[in-house]
């Protein structure tokens, strides 16, 4: 490669002949060389922040939890609250709810709180609840809940952002951890210079972390002007190690006139390494907390989940964003949420005519059979996270099934059925919901765990999986002519792996890792 582009592709002799005296020669030693991975659904700020906190993944039982938290507490003396992430809902045992009293015994003398992996719940001890001012309850918005115990005090369980933001404000990032995720608005009051520098360093650290996995591009799923300005500063200092596509986040309480701000973003940020051309919306919640929007009530419950957007508001937003030439991506997990999102995209086609829009649906966990062919018909991209499925080998396999009717399971996490329908399928992690680790996610797709009927085998071929992580992710950002393949003239975004991936047994894929990452001809990671 030269000048940031791939100069030639060929066999070892041909390439060696091209090397001049100043050429650096890298011998992959027979291992796989790929276009750099693009993770098409991440939350960079939040993911980066969580690298700093105590990680409770795999921690089970009071003894284990206590040991980990006390050890970490000694390392974060300056923090107002000792904060941990990725706690299991059943961390203290199956069916056992975590209370503030449990967490008081874990860490009595300092405020302590922990985040669930899905980011829908925080559990806090008494000191943390006191410091946050909510030990005796507090105001929360609709859909959020400070769970109260029989004695009239907070139980320690804080459901959804409206409840847990009181505690999150006490972390070392002052609650900016979830900025842009909760609203597309910019922080108010404006972030002080010292905190701004802290946030910029934090994102630089997160980008470096991604580059270690062979990642050269990220599609962020939240965004505001504040984050974009910090990313631009990183670009100027040469620290934007992964290319970043950032959306405008339209919330259900926003009028569609806010799309003018999306236009401003698109005009202000449009470089090769940092750009905006997409509008992101949420249609529902998640299955585990029965907030994914379903066509029928959950088993044993009366709720069908939460409709985040009203139908008319959503359709109007789709028509307008599409007319402005934006790509749209919408979080939709339940079968009714997916249907309404497809309806919105269909409304945009009816209003504006068919165009090469590449609108995306994120997650697509529980799909109704009638909607399967609509992806291909409407040209809608299926944006899927293989590591989220119960058969992905990352989450407990029996978690989600209890929330589903048997007839919903055959088209649950139906990657292969969606691919076979002719729809474009792209892969990502939704970091920090799961780690940004590429090969663990690839293993989830190629070598899922066996689940009994009515679960279906949705295993992916290695080729399709790698394509969904590279060429198809380049395509979905309208960059298929510049990225995603190893071809002369393409941008030199490259990952060199530790193994020949095709020679590995599928279940061994996660043992491979990136040994060298190149972005625009510059080395961004070297083992």
Which stretches of the chain bind Zn ion, using CB under 5 A? Answer: 221, 430
Distance between CA 243 and CA 179 in Å, rounded? 20
As a dihedral over the C-alpha atoms of residue 229, residue 235, residue 241, residue 242, rounded to 10 degrees, the angle is 60
Distance between CA 88 and CA 60 in Å, rounded? 8
Distance between CA 410 and CA 457 in Å, rounded? 9
Q: How far is the CB of 222 from Zn ion (least distance, A)?
A: 8
Please give the structure tokens belonging to residue 453: 């009927």
Complex with Zn ion: residue 35 or 247, whichever CB lies closer: 247
* Kind and range of the H or E run holding 443: helix 438-446
Q: How far is the CB of 180 from Zn ion (least distance, A)?
A: 11
- Rounded-to-5 percentages of helix, strand, coil across the chain: 35, 20, 45
Q: How far is the CB of 381 from Zn ion (least distance, A)?
A: 15
Distance between CA 479 and CA 472 in Å, rounded? 9
Complex with Zn ion: residue 199 or 430, whichever CB lies closer: 430
Complex with Zn ion: residue 261 or 430, whichever CB lies closer: 430
* Kind and range of the H or E run holding 204: helix 193-211
Count the Cβ atoms, other than its own, within 10 Å of residue 389: 25
Distance between CA 317 and CA 257 in Å, rounded? 9
Count the Cβ atoms, other than its own, within 10 Å of residue 311: 12
**Using an 8 Å Cβ cutoff, are 479 and 468 in contact?**
no
179 Ramachandran zone, left/alpha/beta (phi>0; psi -120 to 50)? beta
Q: How far is the CB of 443 from Zn ion (least distance, A)?
A: 21
The three-state (H, E, C) secondary structure of 142-201, written as one string: CCCEEEECCCCCEEEEEECHHHHHHHHCCCCCCCHHHCCCCCCCCCCCCCCHHHHHHHHH
| Pick from 263, 119, 281, 329: nearest CA to 184 | 281
Distance between CA 66 and CA 112 in Å, rounded? 11
Q: How many CA atoms lie within 13 A of 238 on its CB side?
A: 4
Complex with Zn ion: residue 191 or 286, whichever CB lies closer: 286
Complex with Zn ion: residue 371 or 430, whichever CB lies closer: 430
Q: How far is the CB of 288 from Zn ion (least distance, A)?
A: 15
DSSP class of residue 504? S
Respond yes or no on whether the N-terminal peptide bond of residue 432 is cis (omega within 30° of 0): yes
Complex with Zn ion: residue 430 or 437, whichever CB lies closer: 430
Q: How far is the CB of 233 from Zn ion (least distance, A)?
A: 24
Count the Cβ atoms, other than its own, within 10 Å of residue 238: 8
Complex with Zn ion: residue 418 or 434, whichever CB lies closer: 434
Q: How far is the CB of 43 from Zn ion (least distance, A)?
A: 6
Please give the structure tokens belonging to residue 238: 């040469």
Complex with Zn ion: residue 284 or 430, whichever CB lies closer: 430
Complex with Zn ion: residue 125 or 227, whichever CB lies closer: 227
Q: How far is the CB of 221 from Zn ion (least distance, A)?
A: 4
Q: How far is the CB of 430 from Zn ion (least distance, A)?
A: 4
Complex with Zn ion: residue 111 or 180, whichever CB lies closer: 180
| 3-state class (DSSP) for residue 282 | strand
Q: How far is the CB of 94 from Zn ion (least distance, A)?
A: 27
* Kind and range of the H or E run holding 495: strand 494-497
First to last CA, the chain: 20
Complex with Zn ion: residue 211 or 221, whichever CB lies closer: 221
Complex with Zn ion: residue 221 or 242, whichever CB lies closer: 221
Q: How far is the CB of 436 from Zn ion (least distance, A)?
A: 12
Complex with Zn ion: residue 339 or 388, whichever CB lies closer: 388
Q: How far is the CB of 42 from Zn ion (least distance, A)?
A: 8
Q: How far is the CB of 385 from Zn ion (least distance, A)?
A: 8
Residue partners of 406: CB distance under 8 A and separation at least 6 = 454
């Amino acid at each position: 490669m030269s000048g940031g582009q791939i100069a030639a592709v060929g066999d070892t002799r041909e390439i060696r002949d091209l090397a001049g005296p100043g050429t650096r020669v890298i011998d992959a030693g027979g291992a796989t060389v790929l276009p750099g991975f693009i993770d098409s659904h991440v939350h960079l700020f939040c993911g980066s922040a969580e690298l700093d906190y105590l990680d409770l993944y795999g921690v089970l039982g009071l003894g284990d939890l206590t040991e980990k938290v006390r050890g970490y507490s000694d390392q974060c003396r300056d923090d107002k609250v000792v904060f941990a992430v990725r706690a299991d809902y059943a961390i203290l045992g199956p069916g056992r709810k975590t209370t503030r009293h449990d967490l008081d015994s874990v860490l009595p003398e300092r405020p302590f709180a922990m985040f669930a992996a899905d980011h829908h719940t925080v559990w806090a001890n008494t000191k943390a609840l006191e410091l946050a001012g909510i030990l005796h309850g507090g105001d929360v918005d609709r859909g959020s809940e400070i769970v109260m115990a029989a004695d009239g005090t907070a139980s320690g369980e804080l459901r959804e952002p409206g409840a847990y933001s009181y505690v999150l404000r006490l972390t070392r990032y002052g609650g900016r951890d979830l900025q842009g995720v909760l609203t597309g608005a910019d922080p108010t009051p404006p972030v002080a210079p010292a905190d701004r520098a802290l946030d910029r360093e934090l994102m630089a650290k997160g980008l470096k972390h991604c580059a270690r996995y062979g990642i050269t591009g990220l599609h962020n799923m939240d965004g505001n002007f504040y984050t974009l300005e910090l990313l631009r500063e990183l670009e100027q200092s040469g620290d934007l190690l992964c290319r970043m596509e950032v959306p405008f986040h339209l919330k259900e309480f926003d009028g569609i006139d806010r799309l003018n701000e999306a236009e401003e973003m698109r005009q202000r940020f449009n470089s090769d390494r940092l750009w905006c051309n997409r509008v992101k919306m949420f249609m529902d919640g998640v299955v585990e907390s029965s907030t994914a929007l379903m066509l029928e009530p959950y088993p044993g419950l009366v709720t069908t989940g939460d409709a985040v957007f009203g139908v008319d508001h959503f359709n109007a937003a789709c028509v307008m964003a599409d007319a402005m030439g934006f790509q749209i991506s919408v979080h939709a997990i339940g079968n009714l949420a997916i249907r309404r999102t497809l309806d919105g995209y269909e409304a945009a086609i009816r209003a504006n005519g068919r165009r090469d829009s590449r609108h995306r649906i994120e997650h697509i966990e529980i799909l109704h059979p009638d909607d399967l062919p609509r992806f291909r018909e409407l040209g809608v991209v299926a944006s899927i996270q293989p590591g989220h499925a119960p058969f992905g080998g990352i989450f407990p396999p029996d978690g989600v099934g209890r929330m589903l009717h048997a007839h919903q399971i055959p088209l649950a996490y139906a990657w292969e059925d969606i691919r076979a329908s002719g729809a474009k399928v792209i892969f990502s992690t939704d970091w920090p919901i799961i780690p940004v680790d590429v090969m663990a996610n690839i293993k989830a797709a190629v070598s899922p765990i066996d689940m009994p009927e009515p679960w279906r085998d949705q295993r992916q071929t290695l080729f399709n999986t790698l394509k969904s992580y590279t060429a198809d992710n380049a395509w979905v950002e309208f960059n298929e002519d510049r990225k995603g393949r190893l071809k002369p003239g393409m941008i030199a975004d490259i990952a060199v792996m530790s193994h020949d991936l095709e020679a590995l047994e599928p279940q061994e894929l996660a043992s491979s890792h990136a040994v060298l990452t190149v972005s625009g001809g510059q080395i961004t990671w070297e083992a």
